[in-house]
Amino acid sequence: MKKFCFLTTVVLLLFCSGSIIAQTKQEQPNALDKMKQFLGSWQATAGKDTIELWDWQLYGKAMTVNVSHVIKGQKTPLYLNNLGFDKRDGKIKGYAMWPDGGYITWISVFDPANKFLGEAMDNFIPGTTWGKFEMAILNPKEWTWKMWDMNGKITQELKFSKVK
């Protein structure tokens, strides 16, 4: 009798937990498809006499973003970002590389409020996050970028406009 009660309890718990999971799980949008809204060239004022340019291109099913600064009319490469969609966990993962060989890795998710929320970390290792970022789509021709340090201080805030 004890075995029967125990087995029945386990089966009921498994059934109920499966039902709860099924009810709360929501279908995740394909974040990389959402990222396609950024294709093309964008610019933001990054400081006095400084424009930041982000040029988004498709690379097969992945994307690249060539980022540069234009300071007093002189264009200088800043970094190159490569990103792709990881089907295993439904997240966008990226690798940014600077001309001097330095790099960072990051992971982001799409928030249904038209935001991409991400964390910069060492070599894609969870728990090594050193900064957070948000890209908020305002409309088809504008979006904002915010970066925070781990103390919650905003380290960069830009508003981008579509160039082409």
Tens of pLDDT, residue by residue over 87-99, are 898 899 999 999 9
74 lies in some domain: yes
Distance of alpha carbon 38 from alpha carbon 54, whole angstroms: 9
104 lies in some domain: yes
95 lies in some domain: yes
Predicted confidence at residue 29, as pLDDT, reads 52
66 lies in some domain: yes
Please count the structural domains in the chain: 1
Structure tokens at 124: 């894609």
The string of pLDDT tens digits covering residues 47-64 is 999 999 999 999 998 999
52 lies in some domain: yes
Asked if the model's pLDDT at residue 65 lies above 60, the reply is: yes
Domain CATH number, residue 130: 2.40.128.20
pTM of the model: 0.78
Distance of alpha carbon 118 from alpha carbon 131, whole angstroms: 9
State how far Cα 76 lies from the chain centre: 24
Residue type, 80: L
Q: Residue 35: which domain range?
A: 28-162
1 lies in some domain: no
